[in-house]
Amino acid sequence: MTTPKLRMGQPFAQLSSLGLLLVVLLLPSFTSHQGLLAAQKPKVKPYALIAGTVWGPDDRPVYGVTVKIRRAKDKKAKWEVYSDHMGEFAQRVPPGESDYIIWADLKGFKPADGKPLRLAQEVTVHIYYDEREDMGLHLTR
């Protein structure tokens, strides 16, 4: 009984011809100018970002506070976010010149020491186009 000997060059020859076939098939999709632009350009709409921190009366960040945001011309809050363990929050808003009112809704919020908190004052933020605006909300007793 005889068995055929495999040469080392045969598997690589088949592999290289398969690789060549893939290159020939995929090359037109990457050589077109539109294909290259589509691969590079992210499909994200522009936005502005309102970011902030909720500070307690002891100047420490406060976790779990409901933060509401509305346009200055509107009556009701359009966005509602919560402060994280670092007291921070962030909300994307549409780009373009507009004023936003931000406040902390403390209904149902129970601080660790049990003493009630209140918001010192609402904060107004002005957005011009697609920038990030940082601010802070301060709570008092």
The residue ranking higher by pLDDT, 13 or 19, is 19
Q: Check residue 5 and give its pLDDT.
A: 64
pTM of the model: 0.69
- CA-nearest of 100, 133, 139 to 116 is 139
DSSP character for 133?
A: E
Across the chain, what does the average pLDDT equal? Answer: 86
Instruction: Mark out the alpha helices in the chain (DSSP H runs).
Output: 9-31, 33-40
Residue 71 pLDDT exceeds 60? yes
Q: Check residue 63 and give its pLDDT.
A: 95
The residue ranking higher by pLDDT, 96 or 34, is 96
Distance of CA 17 to the CA centre of its chain: 44
pLDDT digits (tens, 9 = 90+) for 1-12: 666 665 655 555
Quick one: average pLDDT of 32-48? 73
111's tokens = 């601080």
Residue with tokens 């507009």: 98
Quick one: average pLDDT of 86-95? 97
